[in-house]
Amino acid sequence: MCKSIAVLTSGGDAPGMNAAVRAVVRAGIHRGFKVYGISRGYHGLLKREVTEMNLRSVSDIIGRGGTLLYTARCRAMMTPEGQQQAAEICKSLDIEGLVVIGGDGSFKGARALSNLGIPCVGIPGTIDNDIACSDYTIGFDTAMNTAMEMVDKIRDTAQSHDRCSVVEVMGRRCGDIALQTGIAVGATSILVPEVPFDLESDVISRIYEQKSTGKKHFIIVVAEGVGGVEDLAKYIEKRTGIESRATVLGHVQRGGSPTLRDRLMATAMGVEAVDLLEKGIGNRVIAYKDSKIVNFDITEALDMPREFDRHLYEVALEASI
């Protein structure tokens, strides 16, 4: 069993990362490890930004957004030289196991370090819900609830003015935030990168059909990966005569106090990660699959194809007519 472990957060931050750090630190100390917190992800590791944590270092953070360890995207960690240097720094600091909270890119770094003799365990932390091996990623629920709240407010003003509001939510390659938020706000159309669409049949016709039954305000939810909300609003206005506005929600979705679901998932995944390192097991990603916390080999996890919930998409279309 290794005696010292470390934890870092990497890539885009997500609400609930703090809860995961807290769980790793508390479970680690409880099981007899010395636990280090590494600031600013792999970038901080390469700069030796490493601090020993104690039980009270993680007090009062379970309900806070952001990450007290800070985060960064690190290009150097994508190179063999950077990976070698990171492994040597871990060895020189007696870090014998590492928990990496982040997304796919962060897990590639964790796999490289595992191959260089530092057992690493990844925890899916990203608002996008785009880790194929896991049905859930930490931050997704909070981000969607924030988006829902914001679109509800936009709907109020769209309704007062009989307008159409086109709203962009985050998700470059993954439409899960758009899909689930779109359902929750009763969007007329939801455009995601996973499903090809035709503006006439999937947006304009749906607006006309709803208008013919008396609807006067419309919400179109668009994933970031589809983009173009300003142009789309102009197009809708031109084609339908309905005054239209565009809103990009942006980084508001990445902040805020995590929901119960995110705190719970983060805590369960954090403890599971320590459990693996205690058994000397590395090169794994923690996942939530079929209502259970499980783990996968990192390469197996990275190679899994992501499946978009087409059924839920059909549900959205049928419920919003």
Residue 126 near ligand F6P by CB under 6 A: yes
Q: Total number of residues binding ligand F6P (CB under 6 A)?
A: 9
Catalytic residues: 128
Residue 170 near ligand F6P by CB under 6 A: yes
Backbone phi, psi, residue 133, to 5°: -75, -10
Residue 127 near ligand F6P by CB under 6 A: yes
Q: Which is nearer to ligand F6P, 75 or 215 (CB)?
A: 75
Task: Quote the CA–CA distance of 318 and 204 in Å, as a whole number.
Answer: 16
Q: Which is nearer to ligand F6P, 97 or 125 (CB)?
A: 125
Backbone phi, psi, residue 98, to 5°: -135, 135
Nearest by Cα to 211 from 163, 178, 166, 165? 163
Residue 9 near ligand F6P by CB under 6 A: no
DSSP 181-233: HHHHTT-SEEE-TTS---HIIIIIHHHHHHHHTT---EEEEEETTT--HHHHH
Q: Print the binding letters for residues 192-231 with ligand F6P: x by CB under 6 A, - otherwise.
A: --------------------------------x-------
Q: Print the binding letters for residues 245-274 with ligand F6P: x by CB under 6 A, - otherwise.
A: ---------x--------------------
Task: Quote the CA–CA distance of 119 and 264 in Å, as a whole number.
Answer: 25
Q: Which is nearer to ligand F6P, 119 or 171 (CB)?
A: 171
- Per CB under 6 A, the segment of 86-94, 109-117, 166-174, 191-199 that binds ligand F6P is 166-174
Q: Which amino acid is at 202?
A: D
| Token couple for 151 | 């679109």
Which stretches of the chain bind ligand F6P, using CB under 6 A? 12, 126-128, 170-172, 224, 254
